[in-house]
């Protein structure tokens, strides 16, 4: 393959680190910072709409992150260009670690221990075995499937739900609207890793919370718009939910005056559950470019009509 240029259009990205990673991954791929004629590939994240008219030959957009809503809703993004979701080992590992951390935190109710320490109280706490803890992953894409498999490996009674049928050894998989209530029934910890579509916007609401086990916990590492924030506060206030961990919020950064910051049962992280490693990401993009140049189908390509 002759040398191909990839435009690095990532706001606040470390160009030097990414350039070095691409140089190591494939000498035939040259990362550039400025639009040039003939560029067919672009690595983007929160890039301005003004960028796309300067790239008439653009064939593939690699989104530096799982979220692709901005690209789908931006009329300046050419419909002739394929959009590829980032699915690389570093990002998957980061997300899986975050989900495991938060599930164990809720499973062991670490917030009770933190409160007890503040009061210098030796708490006599118990908790069930993981196989007696019902945990569900809402969304079984690349990240959700990896998270569900890891939770299974740690012994949790794990379920998964997706729009279309998936199969993961040792995970009870549910699919479609007709099976969603069965998936939710009695869950004690719910993890949301759904794509954001009109159908999933606001899905984490009072009706869904009512289908979980009383005192269940929520982990949302997908999109802030999945969550009805007022319903979460109400569910926590009534005891319907015991706690929540949120890596994403409706407005980011979360305003200092927002009640989530000071709620004793809400744990906030700054949308950093899944960091991308330039080395593993560059290797994955190089592999995808080689496939595309060979006339093969891109992997993890967005289906525009479905929204993910």
Task: Catalogue the active-site residues.
Answer: 223, 271
CB 168 within 8 A of CB 141: no
Query: Which residues lie closer than 8 Å to 139 by C-beta, 6 or more apart?
Result: 161, 162, 192, 193, 194, 195, 222
Task: Quote the CA–CA distance of 106 and 281 in Å, as a whole number.
Answer: 31
Task: Quote the CA–CA distance of 267 and 209 in Å, as a whole number.
Answer: 18
Give strand pairing partners of 6.
Answer: 31, 41
Residue position matching structure tokens 């015991």? 242
Residue position matching structure tokens 């503040």? 118
How far apart, in Å, are the Cα atoms of 119 and each of 110, 115, 122, 265, 267?
14, 7, 9, 17, 20
For 228-234, which contacts have Cβ atoms below 8 Å and span 24 or more sequence positions?
228/202, 228/204, 229/260, 231/204, 231/205, 231/206, 232/204, 232/266, 233/259, 233/263, 234/206
Radius of gyration of the chain (CA): 21
């Amino acid at each position: 393959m002759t040398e191909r240029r990839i435009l690095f259009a990532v706001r606040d990205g470390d160009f030097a680190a990414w350039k070095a990673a691409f140089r190591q991954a494939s000498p035939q791929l040259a990362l550039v910072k400025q639009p040039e004629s003939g560029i067919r590939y672009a690595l983007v994240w929160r890039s301005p709409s003004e960028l796309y008219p300067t790239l008439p030959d653009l064939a593939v957009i690699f989104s530096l992150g799982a979220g692709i809503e901005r690209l789908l809703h931006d009329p300046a993004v050419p419909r002739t260009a394929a959009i590829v979701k980032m699915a690389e080992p570093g990002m998957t590992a980061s997300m899986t670690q975050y989900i495991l951390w938060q599930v164990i935190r809720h499973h062991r109710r670490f917030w009770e221990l933190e409160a007890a320490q503040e009061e210098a109280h030796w708490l006599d706490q118990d908790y069930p075995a993981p196989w007696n803890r019902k945990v569900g992953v809402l969304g079984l894409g690349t990240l959700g499937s990896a998270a569900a498999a890891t939770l299974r490996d740690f012994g949790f009674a794990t379920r998964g739900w997706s729009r279309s049928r998936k199969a993961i050894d040792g995970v009870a998989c549910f699919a479609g609207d007709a099976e969603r209530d069965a998936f939710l029934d009695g869950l004690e910890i719910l993890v949301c890793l759904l794509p954001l579509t009109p159908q999933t916007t606001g899905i984490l609401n009072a009706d869904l919370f009512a289908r979980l086990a009383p005192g269940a916990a929520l982990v949302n590492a997908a999109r802030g718009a999945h969550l009805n924030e007022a319903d979460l506060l109400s569910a926590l206030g009534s005891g319907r939910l015991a706690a929540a961990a949120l890596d994403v919020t409706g407005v980011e950064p979360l305003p200092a005056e927002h009640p989530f910051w000071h709620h004793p049962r809400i744990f906030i992280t700054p949308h950093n559950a899944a960091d991308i490693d330039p080395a593993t990401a560059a290797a994955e993009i190089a592999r995808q470019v080689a496939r595309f140049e060979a006339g093969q189908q891109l992997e993890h390509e967005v289906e525009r009509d479905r929204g993910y």
